[in-house]
Amino acid sequence: MEQYNAWVARYPKEAEVYSRFFNFLLAARQLPEAERLISRYEKAFPDDNVFPIEARATLAYKSGSTVEALALYDRSFQPLWPPDLVQDYFNLLKETHRLREFLSQARAAASANPTDVNAAGRLFYYYQQQGNLGEAQRALVDYRQRMEKTNTSWKGEQLWALGRLFDGIHACDDAARGYFALYSLPGAEPALQERTLAGIANLLLAAPEQSVHFGSNSLSFLRDIGVMDSYPGFLNGIISLLLNSQSPDFQY
């Protein structure tokens, strides 16, 4: 413990040091020290809410409180959690035989609040973690249809989550539709619009062999392209990046 504390003191901004120290403390059954280390991590990395969630849930599970571990994941759930955190959550659900209960609660939440993106995200991840990508995609499409049926105004965070989740299972058309809707959303934050443009660019670069549809399936998108590029040469810049290498002929 003295050696690990010295290591943290020497590299206070290296997350890996805290992670290794935490694993050591768990293995040594030094649970109170592990809890204090999580608090130290939160002070060093105030913007990271991933490791503290995972660490505290693991700590609760190792302490014999499975219910508290699951409750912590449930309270903290976000649709755009990192894949490792999602995996840890569902591994615990599987180990404790709570998957059916999770699915039932997610369906009830979606029924009670049809516009809740968190409920849609839970359904998405349930099927995604089972390897059923068709049903995962359907959960998001159903959510989008519920939003449209109730004439609920979209929020930027909802469309961003929708685009990212579709993107994560390579549903290119649906991801492009979500990104474009966010880019066209009145009053959307400029920073979010920039991330949306980056999402569209990444989508086009990651799936060059697919025909990706934007807009409303009409020629009006040819006009939209003329106004979507708020920076000189953004679309040409994509081509430049493709050709900017030691073997441009191969890249072409």
- pLDDT of 233 strictly over 50: yes
pLDDT on residue 114: 92
d(CA 143, CA 123): 10
Amino acid at 97: H
Mean residue pLDDT across the chain: 85
Instruction: Answer yes or no: are the C-beta atoms of 183 and 193 closer than 8 Å.
Output: yes
| pLDDT mean over 140-163 | 92
Which of these ranges, 17-21, 31-35, 161-165, 204-208, has the smallest mean pLDDT? 204-208
pLDDT in tens, 194-214: 888 888 888 888 876 666 665
Yes or no: say if 183 and 197 are a contact pair by the CB < 8 Å rule: yes
Mean pLDDT across 123-147? 94
Query: At what angle are helices 50-62 and 83-95 packed, to 10 degrees?
Result: 20
Domain boundaries, the chain: 1-76
Beta-carbon neighbour count of residue 218 at 10 Å?
Answer: 9
Looking at the chain, the whole-number percentage of residues with pLDDT higher than 70 is 82
Q: How far apart are CA 73 and CA 56, in angstroms?
A: 9
Q: Dihedral of CA 11/12/15/19: which sign?
A: positive
Band (187; pLDDT cuts 50, 70, 90) = confident
| Residue 34 CB-density burial (10 A; 0-12 exposed, 13-18 middle, 19+ buried) | buried
* Predicted confidence (pLDDT) per residue in 54-106, tens digit: 888 888 888 878 888 898 889 889 999 989 889 989 999 998 899 999 999 99
Query: For position 222, what pLDDT does the model report?
Result: 46
pLDDT of residue 111: 93
Mean pLDDT to the nearest integer, 231-241:
62
What pLDDT band is residue 167 in, cutting at 50, 70 and 90?
very high
Question: Which pLDDT score is estimated for 227?
Answer: 58
pLDDT value of position 144: 93
Residue pointed to by tokens 């003191």: 9
Q: What are the two backbone dihedrals, phi and then psi, of residue 97, each rounded to the nearest 5 degrees?
A: 60, 45
* Higher per-residue confidence, 239 vs 165: 165
Q: Considering the entire predicted model, what is its pTM?
A: 0.73
Residue with tokens 């290119």: 172
Q: In CATH, which of 1.25.40.10, 2.120.10.80, 1.10.3720.10, 3.40.50.2300 is domain 1-76?
A: 1.25.40.10
